[in-house]
Amino acid sequence: MRFPRASGILLHPTSLPGRYGIGDLGDWAYHFVDYLVSAGQRYWQMLPLGPTSYGDSPYQSLSTFAGNPLLISLDKLVAEGWLTPEDVATVPDFPPYAVDFGPVIIYHTEILGKAYRRFAETATKVQKDAFDAWCEENESWLTDYALYLALKTKAGGKTWVEWDKNEALRDPETMIKAAEENAVEVAEAKFVQWTFFRQWRDLKAYANSKGILLIGDLPIFVAHDSSDVWANPDLFYLDESGNPTVIAGVPPDYFSETGQRWGNPLYRWDVMEEDGYAWWIRRIKNTLQFVDLVRIDHFRGFAAYWEIPASEPTAVHGQWVPGPGMKFLRTVQAALSDLPIIAEDLGLITPDVNEMRDTFNLPGMKILQFAWGNLDEASGFLPHAHVPNCIVYTGTHDNNTTLGWWHQETDDHIKDHLRSYVAYNVTEPHWTLIRLAMMSVAHTAIIQLQDIMGLGADCRMNKPQQTGHWRWRFLPEQLSNDGKERLRWLTRLYVRLPEQQPREEA
């Protein structure tokens, strides 16, 4: 697809302000779209939007098809009549600057339950027909997810391999009985998803009407404890009890000396190929209901992936195994007629990964925090080495904020290299990297909101292989600093404003 010269901001919706303990799809999401417009931006990039579980990582979702219920705007449910003002009059004392996931989950689950019960009792025929039609359209994943969620709740949140054996392994008679016994819980889960999808549809329509495109994120692998694996065990390498025999990760790298042991089960690509990768095509199409473009996390796994025996405690002992490669991408391209995909091509990148990315003309990624430290080596992350068909970032969600990086993770070699490169004393490292991103030949520049706000390491979104992250939120007054004006000026200076781009011929 064609990418105009443009820029945008990386911000997960959970980081938005609001009174309910977590960012949501209410007024602040619309305010942020307006902020992007006034700052001259074109893109809002975010992390995966699925329901999170243990560890709260959006990259370990309970379903790759479902939306995160915590993002549902409770105020919008009040406006629709599914909640009353009294239902949300008293809110726990949530911290405004971080997501305290435990209490947030408890509160939102209770309130969404109230909304479902009022819907079940008072919805009109037109509303119920709309709900039923949506459920039928999404039947390929929805009922499995809703039943999985009901059984997981009944089991006290345990992973599905710890449930009753007949439920875990989906004995047909047991499934029929479980659906009957949990009919109310299944209907509630479906209602919550319908609500999420409607609210997200409205937000996306608003953003698109303002010229803002949404960039989503699709992890190449899915969580073992998910409805995806529970409902489709034949697509993964599992033992007779449902446990993974081999798992995903990456070998030792920039982030970890022992590699990253993600724990996701690996795909049986040979089985997926038999029906033309139908599950994957449904997955990508579903994601493109949420967003306009999708970044595929760990894109290199389509060329080859790091296979770790499930018994290994780290990712050190593993092996590279060929992925589905070109055949898979050609099949997806034929199904979609286009590939609105960004290839996350970080880590150990081999020539076959580059060939696969370039054959389909997919933009890769350049991270400016990775560029510095060795004057005698050519780094592809240095601004002068960028190519037009790429996305340049100051840092990603896995990186420190640029101020945090500068003060905590750089040495004299890195500092001297950057100073020499820009030929001035660096006093605002975040704005130095923002400027370098904007002046890059890369068609797209994406900046973490934390860098625009000049925030430090305490506002980092994630640190790989550590728990307790994904919590950062900004305060309303922080959006009023001078960052917007500085960002718009640089966007204009380096010809990335939407109005500076050539108009497409009809």
Residues annotated as part of the active site: 297, 344, 398
Q: In what order do the strands lie in the sheet with 293-297?
A: 341-343, 293-297, 213-219, 43-45, 6-10, 444-448, 390-393, 364-367
Q: CA–CA separation, 146 vs 273, rounded Å?
A: 27
CA-CA distances (angstroms) from residue 77 to 42, 81, 198, 324?
Answer: 29, 6, 11, 43
Q: Which two tokens stand for residue 171?
A: 């004995």
Beta strand pairing status for 319-322 and 293-297?
Answer: unpaired
Any idea what the Cα angle at residue 213 is, between residues 391 and 357, rounded to 5°? 35
Using alpha carbons only, give the angle 463, 392, 52 rounded to the nearest 5 degrees.
35
> Is the C-alpha dihedral spanning 326, 328, 331, 336 positive or negative?
negative
**Rounded CA separation 70/428 (Å):** 35
CA distance 330 to 328: 6
Phi, psi angle pair for 390, to nearest 5°: -155, 170
Alpha carbons 280 and 199: distance in angstroms, whole number: 25
**Backbone phi, then psi, for 265, in 5-degree steps?**
-65, 150
Residue 321, beta-bridge partner list: 305
Residue 128 bridge partners (DSSP): none
| Residue 159, both tokens | 């992973």
Which residue, among 204, 201, 203, 211, has the nearest Cα to 42 in the 3D structure? Answer: 211
Angle in degrees, CA 21, 25, 31, rounded to 5: 100
